[in-house]
Amino acid sequence: MPTIDFKTRPFKVLGIQQIAIGAVDKQRLQKLWVDMLGLEVTGTFRSERENVDEDICAIGSGPFKVEVDLMQPLDIDKKPAVHTTPLNHIGLWIDDLPVAVEWLTAQGVRFAPGGIRKGAAGFDICFMHPKANDEFPIAGEGVLIEMVQAPPGVVSAFAALAAGSPSVTT
């Protein structure tokens, strides 16, 4: 594989968009994250295709809000098994998702089937596969990584933060 000049990477990872936690019963997760830690439930999502029933919670606000998705399977015997890895996946804000996927694929990064699509929170998403293979030798090393297209307000807020601007709005 050729040497990569990472200074020319055509996209940026801006920050954490979400953390997804799975269990057989999301009520136990709610007890900790909502009742004990005080996270706010901001929405719900159910998908037969993704075999998931989830509560979408939030830490923080504005462009720096991080989702904590509390997930349980709709059918414990079906795939994907959102409960078998308690830390199901992390989501990263990406400034230009299509460019990132194209560039990373060319570098040998393996993505999960499904391509770029609309996610539970309404943003375009795709998943980096947790396991590498012969064709794509780079992957999440056991961690499923969701790449999320950051909306313009999030992109500009992170740019202002990186520039040291005191006028970042939340």
For 77-102, what is each residue's pLDDT tens digit?
Answer: 999 999 988 888 999 999 999 999 99
> Is residue 74 a part of any domain in this protein?
yes
Could you tell me how many helices (H) and strands (E) the chain has, helices first? 3, 8
> Is residue 5 a part of any domain in this protein?
no
Residue range 113-123: mean pLDDT, rounded: 94
> Is residue 3 a part of any domain in this protein?
no
Query: Which percentage of the chain shows pLDDT scores above 70?
Result: 94
Look at 170 and 135; give whichever has higher pLDDT. 135
Torsion sign, CA atoms 26, 27, 30, 32? negative
User: The pTM is what?
Assistant: 0.81
> Is residue 132 a part of any domain in this protein?
yes
> Is residue 168 a part of any domain in this protein?
no
> Is residue 87 a part of any domain in this protein?
yes
In the prediction, which pLDDT does 155 show?
94
Cα–Cα distance for residue pair 14/149, rounded to 1 Å: 10
Determine the structural domain holding residue 148 and report its residue range: 10-162
> Is residue 1 a part of any domain in this protein?
no
In the prediction, which pLDDT does 165 show?
73
In the prediction, which pLDDT does 162 show?
85
At residue 73, φ and ψ (nearest 5 deg) are -75, 145
- Rounded to the nearest integer, the mean pLDDT of the chain is 91
Q: Is 73 exposed, middle or buried (0-12, 13-18, 19+ CB in 10 A)?
A: buried
> Is residue 75 a part of any domain in this protein?
yes
Q: What is the CATH number of the domain that holds 151?
A: 3.10.180.10
| HSE-CB for 136 with a 13 A CA cutoff | 18
Question: What's the structural domain count of the chain?
Answer: 1
